[in-house]
Amino acid sequence: MAEELISTEPATGELVWRGHAGDVDAAVASARSGYARWVREPLGRRIELVRQFANAVRRHESEFAELIARETGKPLWEALTEVQSVAAKVEISITAYARRTGQTRLDSAMNGTALVRHKPHGVMAVLGPYNFPAHLPNGHIVPALIAGNSVVLKPSEKTPAVAEFLVRCYHEAGIGADVVQIVHGGPEQGKALVTHAGVDGVLFTGSARAGVAINRALASDPGKIVALEMGGNNPIVVLPTPLVEDAATLVVQSAFTTAGQRCTAARRLIVPDAFFDTLVPVVKELTDRLIVGEPLADPQPFMGPVIDNDTADQLSESFLTLISRGGRPLRHMRRIDPDLPFLEPGILDATGIAERPDIELFGPLLQVIRVADFDAAIAEANATRYGLSASLVGGAPEDFERFWTEIRAGVVNWNRPTSGASSAAPFGGIGLSGNHRPAAFYAADYCAYPVASNTMEQPRASILLGLRQG
């Protein structure tokens, strides 16, 4: 019998979903059949159907958002923004497909017509994360469908109910069950899907460790398109500014929104020594005021629990390990309930840690690093193998231009949080954050490939040189 899977609410421990691991071979075979039909649908028809999907999502907005809040633990207000992003992705993707993969035609009286058009890859495996279990896989699925691909979604085993709801919205819109389908399971099913001979592309969002494993597994298979959207050890650099409360707010938003469970969350606050005693107490005071609570509570909390108790335990242990290595606690990370994964945000001064670990601590934990000046701040910000998001707060336009030029990241902001990237722009990173295939608006690039054609309506040719006289 297939392995049983169970999903529970992080905030209460109550059962959300129960099911079994799926059959990867059967899903891929069905997707290949669905692709053969879907690819023959005119582009206009495919666009019409994904627009119907967006309408289905809007019809179920309240129900969908409540399910996301319950299964992930994120506050209802944030879950609502995720559902709205799912629906909004459709029009953005339609525009992106037209701009990024449009047709080019060059006519010549003597040489016919040169065309550049785009073809879908075939069957795309989409592997989604638990932190945005609808929005992030949907960011791959919609552009893949518009391009003409079929999709097999393998969601995180921690959020299967949300993924099922998402896929049902596609089916409600009239998109076939063999064109978009779901395979539940853990690492075993994920590996089988990634390496399956019937899969033409792998679109992944998740941890660097899992992404590197996928990259390694497919290193000898260049025929598969692979897009890896991974995590970050993201810096937010704050220069002296009179707008201290605004700067502190940007830091708190960057570090603790979604309980720090965003790939773009700020993990490191880098601040000049001369501004440390001005900024950090305000950051701490604002953090003290954050409401941590159940996702459906009234009034709404700023953040809910992390995804599960194992994650909460690992984060608590990481906080203590950093202290044992020389970190100075500024705000202790505490478990609110020993049986549930609610965490009070933790802040520590990591300046004294001789060898700071370059890892993504995926939760509400902020390390503060004091530096001498802007030169040292940029060097510290770049002291990571990751390269997803970075923000500069304060400074003049010329400071941001220098920051933008020298920082190694795919998202570089000024006086804005590290998180909250626009779906109308490319989204991705370098190093351990991605493999140079940005998502969001640029997802169209990896969902179709360009094909060049030289054409004439009638065969016409001659050989001008190198022939013997007839």
Q: Between β-strands 201-205 and 123-127, what pairing exists: parallel, antiparallel or unpaired?
A: parallel
Q: Which domains does the chain have, with CATH numbers?
A: 4-230+434-455 (3.40.605.10), 234-414 (3.40.309.10)
What pLDDT is stored for residue 1 in this prediction? Answer: 57
Residue corresponding to tokens 């500014």: 241
Query: Is 169 one of the annotated active-site residues of the chain?
Result: no
Half-sphere exposure of 61 (CA within 13 A, CB side): 15
Helix/strand/coil for 354: coil
Neighbours of 212 (CB within 10 A): 14
Query: Is 229 one of the annotated active-site residues of the chain?
Result: yes
Identity (one letter) of the amino acid at 256?
F
Residue corresponding to tokens 């201290």: 244
Instruction: Exactly one of 71, 78, 157, 263 is catalytic; name it.
Output: 263
Extended strands (E) in 417-458:
426-427, 439-440, 448-455
- Contact criterion met (CB below 8 Å) for 140 and 113: no
Identity (one letter) of the amino acid at 1?
M
What pLDDT is stored for residue 470 in this prediction? Answer: 73
pLDDT in tens, the chain (470 residues): 578 999 999 999 999 999 999 999 999 999 999 999 999 999 999 999 999 999 999 999 999 999 999 999 999 999 999 999 999 999 999 999 999 998 888 877 667 888 999 999 999 999 999 999 999 999 999 999 999 999 999 999 999 999 999 999 999 999 999 999 999 999 999 999 999 999 999 999 999 999 999 999 999 999 999 999 999 999 999 999 999 999 999 999 999 999 999 999 999 999 999 999 999 999 999 999 999 999 999 999 999 999 999 999 999 999 999 999 999 999 999 999 999 999 999 999 999 998 899 999 999 999 999 999 999 999 999 999 999 999 999 999 999 999 999 999 999 999 999 998 888 999 999 999 999 999 999 999 999 999 999 888 888 888 889 999 87
Instruction: Exactly one of 9, 71, 229, 380 is catalytic; name it.
Output: 229
Extended strands (E) in 255-327:
266-272
Residues in Cβ contact with 309 at an 8 Å cutoff, skipping those fewer than 6 apart: 339, 340, 341
Neighbours of 467 (CB within 10 A): 8
